[in-house]
């Protein structure tokens, strides 16, 4: 089922905002730090640390997802997962989400219920205790999600991009390249003769390449590994959302160092690992004498200099940039 195809009787237009909210709220999880949740003009959260981490991210139909390929449940899951990963990349524990959705009036209430289910189950699976504490609904011809996530540092300093030092080990937790391969499959084998995304062709790919499609449509980032990295002495960290080489270059630039990656450590999918996005793995650097947290594996070293190298050769960082890579293709 897609959000706009074959709508049942109840749509956003027929039920109205209050009716839709009454259907969605019971499906959403509560935050363990919630003092006052949905129902007032704003939520109230505890901040045990006295500080909080906050991040926001958007998903827009067209550049970020295609309704012919993603289920509403997967959209809710991915909207949560991508924001939870940004909180984890700071070494924080996710505590709450605020979710705003702008949708066409023909969107079915059932579809938004499935989005809510995806949000709930992603929080429960990836960051237990994190919940949706509020948000907004609006109307748009383009289905759009805007999620703001909050996190608790637990008394620790945040892990930023600027702390890597020569001699540090470069390590990653999570998959690299699978999401990019899944997206490539969708764009090459799940479009019709006119280049329009096709739901039936996507269903065939789900059967033949389930792990790659899930990596792209409903990623499972290693959220607990963020706190593990902070406790393990990580000197720098970020969420690999735009491609390993591009994101590693961000650490290198912020820290004033060079990142030397080991091609063999990246495995057989070296090209999609280096240049593909949306893995939502955690890339971190650790002092050489510190044992790596269990979820992390070494993939290189921090050295003096600038930029990125792979097996000793300079590598021009490449990855996802919404302003240069989005071509307005039909969705």
Judge whether 50 is annotated as a binding position.
no
Please give the helix or strand (H or E) that residue 133 lies within, else none.
strand 131-139
Domain with residues 12-152, CATH architecture = 2-Layer Sandwich (3.30)
Judge whether 135 is annotated as a binding position.
yes
pLDDT in tens, 79-130: 999 999 999 999 999 999 999 999 999 999 999 999 999 999 999 999 999 9
Judge whether 56 is annotated as a binding position.
yes
Judge whether 136 is annotated as a binding position.
yes
The predicted model scores a pTM of 0.92
Write out the DSSP string of 196-257: -B-HHHHHHHHHH-HHHHHHHHS----THHHHHHHHTT-SEEEEE-S-HHHHHHHHHHHHT-
φ, ψ of residue 299 to 5 degrees: the values are -135, 5
Judge whether 320 is annotated as a binding position.
yes
Judge whether 66 is annotated as a binding position.
no
Question: Per-residue pLDDT for the chain (331 aa), expressed as one digit of tens each?
Answer: 444 444 457 888 888 888 888 888 889 889 999 999 888 889 999 999 999 999 999 999 999 999 999 999 999 999 999 999 999 999 999 999 999 999 999 999 999 999 999 999 999 999 999 999 999 999 999 999 999 999 999 999 999 999 999 999 999 999 999 999 999 999 999 999 888 999 999 999 999 999 999 999 999 999 999 999 999 999 999 999 999 999 999 999 999 999 999 999 998 889 999 998 899 999 999 999 999 999 999 999 999 999 999 999 999 999 887 767 654 443 3
Cα(330)–Cα(63) distance, rounded to whole angstroms?
9
Tokens of 116: 């809510």
Using CB atoms within 10 Å of the CB of residue 136, give its burial: 0 to 12 exposed, 13 to 18 middle, 19+ buried.
exposed
Q: 3.20.20.80, 3.40.50.2300, 3.90.650.10, 3.40.190.10: which CATH number matches 159-319?
A: 3.90.650.10
Domain ranges of the chain: 12-152, 159-319
Judge whether 57 is annotated as a binding position.
yes
Judge whether 55 is annotated as a binding position.
yes
Judge whether 11 is annotated as a binding position.
no
């Amino acid at each position: 089922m897609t959000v706009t195809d074959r709508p049942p009787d109840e749509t956003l237009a027929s039920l109205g905002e209050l009716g839709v909210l009454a259907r969605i709220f019971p499906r959403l999880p509560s935050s363990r730090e919630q003092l006052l949740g949905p129902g007032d003009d704003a939520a109230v959260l505890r901040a045990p640390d006295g500080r909080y981490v906050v991040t926001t991210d958007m998903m827009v139909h067209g550049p970020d997802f295609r309704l012919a390929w993603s289920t509403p449940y997967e959209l809710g899951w991915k909207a949560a997962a991508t924001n939870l990963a940004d909180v984890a990349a700071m070494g924080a524990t996710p505590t709450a989400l605020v979710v705003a959705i702008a949708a066409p009036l023909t969107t079915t209430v059932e579809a938004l219920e499935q989005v809510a289910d995806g949000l709930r189950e992603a929080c429960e699976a990836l960051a237990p205790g994190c919940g949706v504490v509020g948000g907004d609904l609006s109307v748009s011809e383009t289905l759009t999600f805007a999620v703001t996530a909050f996190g608790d540092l637990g008394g620790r300093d945040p892990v930023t991009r600027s702390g890597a030092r020569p001699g540090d080990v470069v390590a990653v937790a999570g998959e690299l390249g699978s999401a990019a391969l899944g997206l490539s499959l969708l764009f090459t084998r799940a479009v019709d003769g006119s280049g329009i995304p096709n739901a039936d062709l996507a269903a065939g790919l789900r059967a033949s390449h389930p792990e790659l499609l899930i990596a792209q449509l409903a990623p499972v980032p290693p959220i607990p590994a963020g706190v593990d990295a902070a406790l393990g002495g990580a000197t720098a960290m970020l969420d690999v959302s735009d491609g390993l080489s591009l994101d590693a270059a961000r650490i290198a630039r912020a820290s004033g160092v060079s990142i030397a990656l080991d091609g063999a450590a990246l495995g057989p999918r070296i090209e999609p690992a280096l240049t593909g996005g949306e893995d939502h793995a955690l890339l971190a650097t650790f002092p050489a004498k510190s044992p790596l947290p269990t979820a992390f594996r070494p993939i290189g070293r921090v050295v003096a200099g600038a930029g990125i190298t792979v097996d000793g050769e300079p590598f021009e960082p490449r990855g996802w940039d919404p302003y240069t890579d989005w071509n307005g293709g039909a969705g």
